[in-house]
Amino acid sequence: MRPDLLDLLRCPFCGGRLALVESGFVNRDGDDVLDGILGCHCCAFPIVDGIPIVHLEPAAAAAREHLDAGRPDLARRAMFGFEAGADAGRFEAAAASPSATYRDIVDALGPHFEGGYFLYRFTDPTYLVSQAVVGAVAETMLAGGGRAIDVCGGSGHLTRTLLGLSAAPPVLADLYFSKVWLARRFTAPGCDGVCCDGNAPLPFARGAFRLAICSDAYHYIWTKRLFASEMIRLTETGDRRRAVVISHTHNANQWNPSAGMPLPPEAYRDLFADVSPRLFGDAALLDDIIERQQVDLSRPTPPDALDRERALTIVASPDPGVFASRAVRTATAARGEFRLNPLYAETAEGDDVRLALHFPSDDYEQEYGAARRYLPETMTVARAALAALPATVVPPGLVEAVRRRVVVDLPMRYY
Ligand SMILES: [Zn+2]
């Protein structure tokens, strides 16, 4: 944990600043705190592996006790849910290996960890829309500086989009320690991670961020009114240059396989009424991205069409400059490295390689089948071109494969 994160952190219960308990156990790496205890007027919160845990779930209490006893190893085990110790060994061996991949760690976390589909996140339709919208809003909001936060950001796939745009490192907040840990190691290296509960007041100062985003999670939040007012409070910068983006939240008027507790469009709009919200249908946004390579925030989806959408995106900002149409660009240089999309299988054909799209399961097909609209069923590329991967610039002969997302810019050591 970088020391300047303390300027942003506030206790979710008393609202007080958090300070490192210098008399307790502290494990540092230079100025950064790896393990230690944060105190406020009312609580003590553990920092484990550089991640402050600002909630009071049982695992956090156990981790704090382990730190009091000088055992950061057991604190980490508690936060990963390995309190029994039975299957911690396999995970800890993977975590200790510098060559371990995101996929290795997810496998070592066991079948109960909902990591399976996250391997394919970078080309699923939900991500395509969220990434395009967040990228467009962030470019406008953060052009003159300012910081962004990704709330309920999971293992950091969208936080990654904010890395080059947020002046100070973007903050990733999520309830699940394992996801924040994965993000900091693989998906969004350099981000600041915080564990907190989206159903409680968010543990940050007023106006700490110009942009607050939440993707594919708002329908799982029960205290939606509190969450909306907290997202607005976090971005109360004192000027117009601020925005909240809630992307991919389910529509209560339509069936969804993993519905959560969705609201109808007008209820979502009411929750953000104080900051000029505009609502968009995710299918309408996806059409624009696929057919026109544009993310168009200048035309909100009309109410009758919005009602028919399964998922919605809310963009709320007092700055009208946010509501514009922008081109969706194809990267020519990788943030990580260009690799074959893990949804594709290779078959040798002489000097060529035939790449074929394979969905990992019927469930994936049902939820993300719209990916077939832009991912080709098959593509043939020269073996020599494919052999140039991994690469940091697009290899000659793979320009079309990158444009079609058969070859993608992935985090280092992703799979
Ligand atoms: Zn407190």
Q: Give the per-residue pLDDT at 37.
A: 98
Ligand 1 center–CA 78 separation, angstroms? 22
Ligand 1 center–CA 178 separation, angstroms? 24
Q: What is the pLDDT of residues 133-162, one digit of tens each?
A: 999 999 999 999 999 999 999 999 999 999
* pLDDT > 70 fraction of the chain, expressed in percent and rounded: 98
Ligand 1 center–CA 14 separation, angstroms? 4
Cα gap 398→381, rounded to integer Å: 7
* Among candidate residues 226, 222, 268, the one with its CA nearest the CA of residue 247: 268
Ligand 1 center–CA 174 separation, angstroms? 19
In contact, 157 and 124? CB cutoff 8 Å: no
Q: Give the per-residue pLDDT at 256.
A: 84
Q: What is the pLDDT of residues 382-401, one digit of tens each?
A: 999 999 999 999 998 999 99
Q: What is the pLDDT of residues 191-214, one digit of tens each?
A: 999 999 999 999 999 999 999 999
Q: Is 216 exposed, middle or buried (0-12, 13-18, 19+ CB in 10 A)?
A: buried
Beta bridge partners of 48: 51
Cα gap 294→241, rounded to integer Å: 23
Task: Identify the three-state secondary structure at position 343.
Answer: coil
Q: Check pLDDT > 70 for residue 84.
A: no
- Summarize the confidence of residues 245-251 as an average pLDDT: 98
Cα gap 224→218, rounded to integer Å: 7
Q: Check pLDDT > 70 for residue 114.
A: no
Q: Check pLDDT > 90 for residue 46.
A: yes
* Sequential DSSP letters for 143-162: TT---EEEET-TTSHHHHHH
Ligand 1 center–CA 73 separation, angstroms? 26
The chain-wide mean pLDDT, for the chain, equals 95
* Among candidate residues 55, 20, 58, the one with its CA nearest the CA of residue 40: 20
Ligand 1 center–CA 226 separation, angstroms? 18
Q: Give the per-residue pLDDT at 83.
A: 65
Ligand 1 center–CA 33 separation, angstroms? 20
- Summarize the confidence of residues 286-311 as an average pLDDT: 96
In contact, 132 and 295? CB cutoff 8 Å: yes
User: For residue 315, which phi and psi values (nearest 5 degrees)?
Assistant: -115, 120
Ligand 1 center–CA 102 separation, angstroms? 35
Q: Check pLDDT > 70 for residue 118.
A: yes
- E strands, 30-170, are 32-39, 44-48, 51-52, 148-151
Ligand 1 center–CA 302 separation, angstroms? 44
Residues whose Cβ atom is located within 5 A of ion ligand 1: 11, 13-14, 40, 42-43
* H-helix or E-strand spanning residue 128: helix 125-141
Number of residues that this document lists for the chain: 415
Residue 264 banded pLDDT, cuts 50, 70, 90: very high
Beta bridge partners of 379: 355
Cα gap 316→279, rounded to integer Å: 9
Cα end-to-end span (Å), the chain: 27
Residue 257 token pair: 């396989």
Residue 94 token pair: 């993977």
- Cα 137 off chain centre by: 16
Ligand 1 center–CA 18 separation, angstroms? 8
Ligand 1 center–CA 67 separation, angstroms? 19
- Cα 65 off chain centre by: 30
Ligand 1 center–CA 325 separation, angstroms? 43
Ligand 1 center–CA 193 separation, angstroms? 19
Ligand 1 center–CA 20 separation, angstroms? 13
Rounded (10°) CA dihedral 198, 200, 204, 206: 110
Residue 85 banded pLDDT, cuts 50, 70, 90: low
In contact, 20 and 36? CB cutoff 8 Å: yes
* Among candidate residues 235, 169, 172, the one with its CA nearest the CA of residue 205: 235
- Summarize the confidence of residues 70-99 as an average pLDDT: 88
Residue 69 token pair: 């006893």
Q: How many CB atoms lie within 10 A of CB 29?
A: 10
Q: Give the per-residue pLDDT at 82.
A: 86
* H-helix or E-strand spanning residue 385: helix 383-386
- Cα 173 off chain centre by: 9
Q: Check pLDDT > 70 for residue 354.
A: yes
Ligand 1 center–CA 43 separation, angstroms? 5
Q: Give the per-residue pLDDT at 279.
A: 98
- Summarize the confidence of residues 77-82 as an average pLDDT: 92
Rounded (10°) CA dihedral 252, 256, 262, 268: -60
Residue 331 banded pLDDT, cuts 50, 70, 90: confident
* CB within 8 Å of 223: residues ≥ 6 apart: 198, 199, 200
Q: Check pLDDT > 90 for residue 113.
A: no
Q: Give the per-residue pLDDT at 30.
A: 97
Task: Identify the three-state secondary structure at position 22.
Answer: coil
Ligand 1 center–CA 238 separation, angstroms? 25
In contact, 143 and 206? CB cutoff 8 Å: no
